[in-house]
């Protein structure tokens, strides 16, 4: 299967997926990594792995629509079966989401539907939550709102701050995101009418 990964930053989730492909656990090929930021370290990770690393700077486009149209054309050129958002810090237009619906997935550092948006670790601590985590989900038009595919839970310790909590959560991200990509490449995941399915069973 063909995989395209969208990033904006460090790309540690990208690295986890690269590693699983290289070790033969994911039966797929990362055909391109696309970043909207030229300084994203994930581009370096892609180059090291021999994967085309593409920069598409959103600031040179006149509108969000124009950027998303070019992004969509760039992605489609690699005919991916799955488009993996891994720390891609852009809100997508409904047109873009519609075009890739059912093959577009994201990871969010919270137990969705809790804590959509930014600053999730601090918000969980401030709320006095005992548990936090991360969610892989299908992307729909609403931000951080698509049906869940898999979640990982971590416990919040009394002495955790946002930094220590983010380290714990990221360790889990690096496990569940490659797993979700693996399932996708095995045709085990689908989304029909806004509902996610695994092996034909409702998630
Ligand atoms: C992760 O915490 C992910 O949940 C969020 O952005 C971060 C990306 O980290 N969407 P990295 O670039 O994969 O290291």
20-65 pLDDT, tens digit each: 999 999 999 999 999 999 999 999 999 999 999 999 999 999 999 9
Index of the ligand 1 atom closest to the CA of residue 42: 12
CA distances from 100 to 40, 48, 49, 103, 146 (A): 24, 28, 26, 6, 13
30 near 185, Cβ under 8 Å?
A: no
The residue whose CA is least distant from atom 1 of ligand 1 is: 87
Q: How confident is the model at residue 143 (pLDDT cuts 50, 70, 90)?
A: confident
Average of pLDDT values for 71-75?
Answer: 98
Per the DSSP assignment, residues forming a β-bridge with 152 are: 134
Has 137 been annotated as catalytic?
Answer: no
Domains of the chain: 2-202 (3.40.50.170)
Say what the pLDDT of residue 156 is.
98
89 labeled binding residue: yes
Task: Say how many Å lie between the CA of residue 88 and the centre of ligand 1.
Answer: 8
Q: Which of 5, 18, 86 to mutate to test the pocket of ligand 1 (most atoms within 8 A of CB)?
A: 86
Closest residue by Cα to residue 70 from 85, 54, 52: 54
| Threshold 0.95, pTM exceeds | yes
Task: Say how many Å lie between the CA of residue 165 and the centre of ligand 1.
Answer: 13
Q: Give the ipTM.
A: 0.95
Residue 165 has pLDDT above 90, yes or no: yes
CA distances from 15 to 11, 21, 26, 43, 162 (A): 6, 10, 13, 10, 23
85 near 44, Cβ under 8 Å?
A: no
Ligand 1: residues whose CB is within 6 Å? 7, 9-14, 42, 86-87, 107-109, 134, 170, 173
φ/ψ of 161, rounded to 5, equals: -115, 180
State the residue for tokens 């590693």: 19
Task: Say how many Å lie between the CA of residue 87 and the centre of ligand 1.
Answer: 4
């Amino acid at each position: 299967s063909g995989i395209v990964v969208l990033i904006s930053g460090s790309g540690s989730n990208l690295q986890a997926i690269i590693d699983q492909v290289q070790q033969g656990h994911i039966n797929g090929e990362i055909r391109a990594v696309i970043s909207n930021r030229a300084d994203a370290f994930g581009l370096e990770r892609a180059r090291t792995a021999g994967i085309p690393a593409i920069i598409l700077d959103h600031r040179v486009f006149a509108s969000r629509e124009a950027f998303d149209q070019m992004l969509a054309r760039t992605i489609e050129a690699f005919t991916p079966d799955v488009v993996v958002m891994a720390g891609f810090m852009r809100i997508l237009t409904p047109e873009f989401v519609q075009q890739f619906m059912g093959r577009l997935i994201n990871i969010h550092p919270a137990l969705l539907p809790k804590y959509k948006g930014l600053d999730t670790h601090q918000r969980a601590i401030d709320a006095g939550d005992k548990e936090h985590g991360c969610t892989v989900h299908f992307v729909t038009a609403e931000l951080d709102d698509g049906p869940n595919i898999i979640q990982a839970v971590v416990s919040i310790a009394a002495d955790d701050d946002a930094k220590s909590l983010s380290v714990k959560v990221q360790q889990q991200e690096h496990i569940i995101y490659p797993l979700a990509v693996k399932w996708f490449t095995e045709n085990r995941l689908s989304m029909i009418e806004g509902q996610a399915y695994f092996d034909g069973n409702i998630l």
